[in-house]
Amino acid sequence: MAYLSEAGINILRECVRMTVETERAYRRHLLQALGWVCVGLGAIGIVLPVMPTTVFLLIALWAFARSSPKLHTWLLENPYFGPYIADWERDRVIPLRAKILAVTMMTGSGLWLAFGTSAPLPVVFGVVAILIGVAVYVVTRPSKPAD
């Protein structure tokens, strides 16, 4: 095995290259599938107020950016989904209207969980703590691009 012929070395190189190319293809397809699932969940979120839209669209944008420039561009330019995420990708900005809606929905969800369900107290505290952390993050992001 210490002495491989030139033909043997070429065969090994071809196998390694095929393996890397195959891995990249699988990764690209998995990221595209994840992107489409998140686009679907984001579409559901537009109709159902209890489902987040922007989070799923940002995940889809991330997945498409790493797997298909064409799908990435399509999502940013989409008339329904693009406005939700274009500001974030370009300027890391969350519009004021979106902040108000997000914090209102998180507050409503926390109140409903605390007083409208029989969820155990540790679950309520845990979920409310997460919601508060997310609300603080959302509120502290800029509302307008820095000029």
Does the residue 98 lie in any domain? yes
Domain total in the chain: 1
Q: Are 91 and 52 in contact (CB under 8 A)?
A: no
Taking the CA atoms of 94, 96, 101 and 104 in sequence, report the sign of the dihedral they define. positive
Percent of the chain whose predicted confidence (pLDDT) is above 70:
89
Enclosing domain of residue 140 = 93-147
pLDDT of 36 above 80:
yes
Higher-pLDDT residue of 30 and 25 is: 30
Please give the pLDDT value at position 51.
74
